[in-house]
């Protein structure tokens, strides 16, 4: 006998304070903690449920999944349409559709996975994943909702997938047969996973110890937007410190509202964006239009046909316009950071959209400050 179709989950529900869809957490208390950051107790709670003996009428059933994580992720597209989401403490990027297909691991090494589908790219840092769960929730009306969630060593969610209204039940059972831990044990507190404390932000090296002339020459010599990450590592800087110390004309600090304004203007003008939201274990990039932008309290929601960005503007401590030298000319990004110096969102224009649309993105950025810094030669 086939299971009732699950109730579809609205896309926006997947983007509340960096959480998966509220219905995918096995506790009413957890489901209502929408004003807190991702809590390690979520991971502990799922682990305890996965250790509990389950009867046929259990509302929640949780199976602990065993690594290798790349093998699990490679099987996720077989589950059919789903809502995939990647989040940090202050932003979430969610996409509806089949899970993007994972590229062969030999191309990137065992610790990194790259998955692509249409306008979506997922970079999955498997070396930082520590816990995975398959979750099944039976609602009061008998409908069944299924999801898969992954966590890092600290108990923070790295990536999650919530199955759509018509999942392939046989594929879900195959996933469990291949990757779920065999057997069950009684629930005991000592069975909860040992979670490492969240790492404290590394103190920045004193500015006066940085070889600024060499740093400025290296910045001007970059040939791709990804070169900044390499530059940061080479000089032992945080990304935020690198922006502060950037050569004149390449970086401009903007108002906290600039992300909302840029996304709203892009929606009005039909300018496609490249949006990235990430955490220690995953980075989700969307390329395309986000034509519907609304503000709900302090949260910015930008939504397209299959994708939504959600951002807590109140958590932004600084926003920076950054000009990256590339082989094709300057690339302009808009980067937001929280009070701990952690990157929240990264936005840029899409080169795939053509020169005119890329120029429109630069014009949007030019309107975000009152005293423009001179463009570097």
Bridge partners of 135, per DSSP, are: 62, 147
What is the model's pLDDT at position 176? Answer: 92
Q: Is 99:115 a contact under the CB 8 Å cutoff? A: yes
Tokens, residue 152: 């890092």
What is the model's pLDDT at position 274? Answer: 95
The ranges assigned to domains in the chain are 11-106+128-191, 207-366
Task: List Cβ neighbours of 44 (8 Å cut-off, separation of 6 or more).
Answer: 155, 192, 193, 195
Task: List Cβ neighbours of 60 (8 Å cut-off, separation of 6 or more).
Answer: 26, 49, 135, 136, 137, 138
What is the model's pLDDT at position 160? Answer: 92
Tokens, residue 237: 């800087």
Residue carrying structure tokens 């995918």: 24
pTM of the model: 0.82
Q: What is the pLDDT along the chain (377 residues), one digit of tens a residue?
A: 444 333 333 333 333 333 333 333 333 322 222 222 344 555 666 766 555 554 444 577 888 898 899 999 999 999 988 999 999 999 999 999 888 999 876 555 668 899 998 889 999 999 999 989 998 888 777 788 889 999 988 888 899 998 876 667 889 999 999 998 875 433 333 445 567 777 777 789 999 999 999 999 999 999 887 889 999 999 999 999 999 999 999 999 999 999 999 999 999 999 999 999 999 999 999 999 999 999 999 999 999 989 999 999 999 999 999 999 988 888 899 999 999 999 999 999 887 756 666 788 888 998 886 444 444 43
- What is the three-class DSSP state of 102? strand
Query: In terms of C-beta density within 10 A (0-12 exposed, 13-18 middle, 19 or more buried), how is residue 58 classed?
Result: middle
What is the model's pLDDT at position 258? Answer: 96
What is the model's pLDDT at position 60? Answer: 76
What is the model's pLDDT at position 183? Answer: 55
| Identical topology for domains 11-106+128-191 and 207-366 | yes
207-366 CATH: 3.40.1570.10
| Listed residue (17, 69, 77, 100) closest to 286, CA to CA | 100
What is the model's pLDDT at position 154? Answer: 85
Q: Is 274:288 a contact under the CB 8 Å cutoff? A: no
Task: List Cβ neighbours of 111 (8 Å cut-off, separation of 6 or more).
Answer: 125, 126, 127
Q: How many CA atoms are closer than 13 Å to the CA of 273, on its beta-carbon side?
A: 32
Whether the link from the prior residue into 133 is cis, omega within 30° of 0, is no
CATH class entry, domain 11-106+128-191: alpha beta
Q: With left for phi above 0 and alpha for psi between -120 and 50, is residue 259 left, alpha or beta?
A: alpha
d(CA 21, CA 10): 9
Query: In terms of C-beta density within 10 A (0-12 exposed, 13-18 middle, 19 or more buried), how is residue 141 classed?
Result: exposed
Helix locations, the chain, DSSP H: 28-31, 40-51, 69-75, 169-179, 212-220, 227-235, 239-244, 258-269, 355-366
d(CA 273, CA 259): 12
């Amino acid at each position: 006998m086939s299971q009732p179709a699950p109730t579809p989950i609205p896309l926006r529900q997947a983007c509340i304070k960096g959480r998966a869809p509220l219905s995918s957490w096995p506790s009413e208390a957890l489901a209502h903690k929408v004003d807190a950051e991702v809590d390690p107790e979520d991971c502990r709670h799922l682990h305890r449920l996965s250790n509990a003996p389950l009867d046929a009428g259990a509302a929640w059933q949780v199976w602990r999944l065993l690594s290798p994580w790349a093998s699990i992720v490679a099987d996720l597209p077989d589950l059919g349409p789903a809502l995939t989401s990647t989040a940090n403490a202050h932003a979430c990027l969610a996409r509806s559709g089949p899970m993007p297909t994972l590229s062969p691991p030999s191309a990137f090494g065992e610790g990194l996975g790259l998955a692509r589908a249409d306008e979506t790219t997922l970079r999955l840092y498997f070396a930082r994943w520590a816990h995975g769960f398959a979750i099944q929730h039976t609602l009061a009306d008998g409908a069944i909702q299924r999801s898969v969630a992954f966590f890092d060593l600290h108990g923070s969610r790295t990536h999650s997938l919530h199955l759509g209204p018509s999942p392939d039940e046989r594929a879900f059972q195959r996933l469990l047969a291949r990757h779920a831990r065999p057997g069950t044990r009684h629930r005991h507190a000592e069975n909860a996973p040992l979670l490492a404390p969240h790492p404290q932000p590394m103190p920045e090296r004193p500015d006066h110890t940085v070889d600024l002339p060499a740093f400025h020459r290296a910045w001007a010599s970059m040939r791709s937007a990804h070169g900044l990450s390499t530059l940061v590592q080479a000089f032992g800087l945080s990304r935020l410190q690198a922006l502060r110390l950037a050569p004149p004309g390449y970086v401009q600090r903007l108002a906290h509202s600039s992300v909302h304004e840029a996304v709203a203007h892009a929606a009005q003008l039909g300018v496609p964006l490249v949006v990235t939201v990430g955490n220690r274990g995953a980075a989700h990039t969307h390329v395309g239009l986000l034509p519907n932008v609304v503000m709900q309290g302090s949260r910015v929601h930008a939504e397209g046909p299959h994708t939504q960005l959600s951002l807590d503007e109140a958590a932004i401590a600084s926003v920076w316009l950054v000009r990256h030298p590339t082989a094709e000319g300057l690339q302009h990004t808009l980067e937001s950071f929280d009070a701990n110096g952690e990157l929240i969102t990264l936005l840029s224009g899409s080169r795939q959209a053509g020169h005119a649309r890329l120029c429109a993105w630069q014009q949007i950025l030019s309107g975000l400050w009152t005293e423009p810094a001179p463009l570097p030669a």
